[in-house]
Amino acid sequence: MAIVVQKFGGTSVADAEKIRRAAMRAISAQKAGNQVVVVASARGKQTDQLVTDAIELNPDPPRREMDMLLSTGEQQTVSLMAMAMDAMGYKAISFTGSQIRMVTDAAHTKARIQSIGAERITKKLDDGFIVIVAGFQGMDEDGNITTLGRGGSDTSAVALAAALEAEVCEIYTDVDGIYTTDPRKYPDAVRMDQISYDEMLELASLGAGVMHGRAVEFGKKYNVPIHVRSSMKEMSGTIITHEVPQMEGILVSGATIQKNLAKIGLVGVDNRPGNAARIFSHLAGSQVIVNDIIQTEVSEQKANVSFTIGRDDLDGAKKAIEEIRSQIHCESVFVREDIAEVSVVGVGMRSHYGVADKMFQALAEAKVNIDSITTSEIRISCVVDIDHGEKALTAVCDAFELNKPADERS
């Protein structure tokens, strides 16, 4: 029998009726002849409320205790879903991440999965149960509860699908697939039938909230097809899969805007081997995730280094830089929080020229000034003033006709 993993996000299990609807999805998949594993998130805004409660008691709560607290949201959801399936006459059992031995490192609130013990799940599947697993959580080698960070239930689901060699991992959410850009910001965006792992990884890293980047990494590494679907409508969504030849003909697949960013600039750093490694090693040791990096040589003696980070990491980054500033002889540090990053992504960029020119021309015509530019093989990103972010996104979406299906673009 094929194994299907289904993941339901917080909005898809927000109340009793939605939990029943999710339960019926799983039951239907079992009736179709599959063994079914469900991964569930905390309901609705429950995680946000738990964070608020914690900060009210302690403005700087210990990360270990935050993991203990936040893991309770998913535990409630999976037990309620098992109860719902039992009431419908179907065998179901719920597990926490630690009960299935989802072992992670010890980086509380940002843990990474190291191994999964699938034996307990497999036994229950063979006994005819639908197995329901709490997403977002695991445990370290010492038995401490850990969490995987925001969006970690996606990662839990795809990692489980990989461990179980599942046929597909279905991600049920409040949207019906992956769009060329966020429809709330660009109402003419269209849904894509498929997208490559590489493109989705870029979009996720650039702020597209439909999928968690680490989940896509697992899918690509272990060849798990990911099907992003609506929890409200019976319809196909978007398949995330390996690149196929027809994708190369699509110049740009999608666009994003990321606003929750900050930029740190180090001016007048000693221009000598090892300094860049020293800076970013220290940031990594402080668990600061760095996005784009730009280094410019000012003279034989000095260089400027700038990088972007999530605004949530700003305090940790500033502290880390102050700790190392004298070692690298940095003359001054500047910080910008009034920025947004607009990006376009597409595997077709590998074999087409003129993408950058079209993007820059679109921004120029919209009178949007570019602060900095970074690129990869399939991405171009521009940092702009946050006040011009929405206008910049609209300009590049229009330029690349992201309001049309891929086969209708010129």
CB distance 45 to 52 below 8 Å: no
Place 232 in a pLDDT band, splitting at 50, 70 and 90: confident
Torsion of CA 215, 248, 401, 374, to 10 degrees: 60
Specify the amino acid at residue 260: N
Other beta carbons within 10 angstroms of residue 396's beta carbon come to: 27
Pairing of strands 372-376, 238-241: unpaired
Residue 326 pLDDT? 93
The β-bridge relationship of strands 339-345 and 379-385 is antiparallel
pLDDT average, residue stretch 54-67: 96
Strand 332-336 and strand 261-270: the pairing is: antiparallel
Strand partners for 385: 339
pLDDT of res. 151: 78
| Cα 56–chain centre separation | 28
The Cα–Cα gap between 390 and 408 comes to 25
Q: CB 4: neighbour CB atoms within 10 A?
A: 23
- CATH classification of 245-410, choosing from 3.20.20.80, 3.30.2130.10, 3.40.50.150, 3.40.1360.10? 3.30.2130.10
What residues pair up with 306 in beta bridges, in sequence order? 265, 294
Average pLDDT over residues 230-256: 84
Give how far Cα 314 sits from Cα of 73, 311, 317, Å.
27, 5, 5
CA distance 154 to 159: 8
Place of tokens 């007048």: 268
How many other CB atoms are found less than 10 A from the CB of residue 315?
Answer: 12
The ranges assigned to domains in the chain are: 3-174, 245-410
Q: What's the whole-number average pLDDT of the chain? A: 93
| CA–CA separation, 263 and 306 (whole Å) | 7
Separation of CA 200 from chain center: 9
What number is the average pLDDT over the span 79-94?
Answer: 98
Tokens of 136: 């977002």
pLDDT at residue number 147 = 96
Q: What's residue 206's pLDDT?
A: 85
- Residue 96, pLDDT > 80, answer yes
Q: DSSP string spanning 132-157? A: EEETTEEE-TTS-EEE--TTHHHHHH
Element (H, E) at 249: none
Structure tokens that stand for 179 in this block: 């769009």
Q: With cut-offs at 50, 70 and 90, classify the pLDDT of residue 245.
A: low
- Residue of 288, 291, 313 whose CA lies nearest to 205: 291
Q: At what angle do helices 197-205 and 213-222 cross, to 10 degrees?
A: 160
Q: What is the DSSP letter of 139?
A: E
Backbone φ and ψ of 8, nearest 5°: -120, 125
CA distance 29 to 143: 34
Per-residue pLDDT band at 247 (split at 50, 70, 90): low
CATH number for the region 3-174 comes to: 3.40.1160.10
Span 132-185, pLDDT tens digits: 999 999 999 999 999 998 779 999 999 999 999 999 999 998 889 999 999 999
List, as one string, the DSSP characters of 219-231. HHHHT--EEEEES
Can you tell me the distance from the alpha carbon of 373 to that of 13, in angstroms, rounded to the nearest whole number?
40
What is the reported pLDDT for 246? Answer: 66
Distance CA 1, CA 171 (A): 20
Per-residue pLDDT tens for 8-19? 999 999 999 999
Are 256 and 203 spatial neighbours (Cβ–Cβ below 8 Å)? yes
Same fold, 3-174 and 245-410: no
- The answer to whether residues 345 and 206 touch, using CB atoms and an 8 Å cutoff, is yes
The pLDDT confidence band at residue 248, using thresholds 50, 70 and 90, is: low
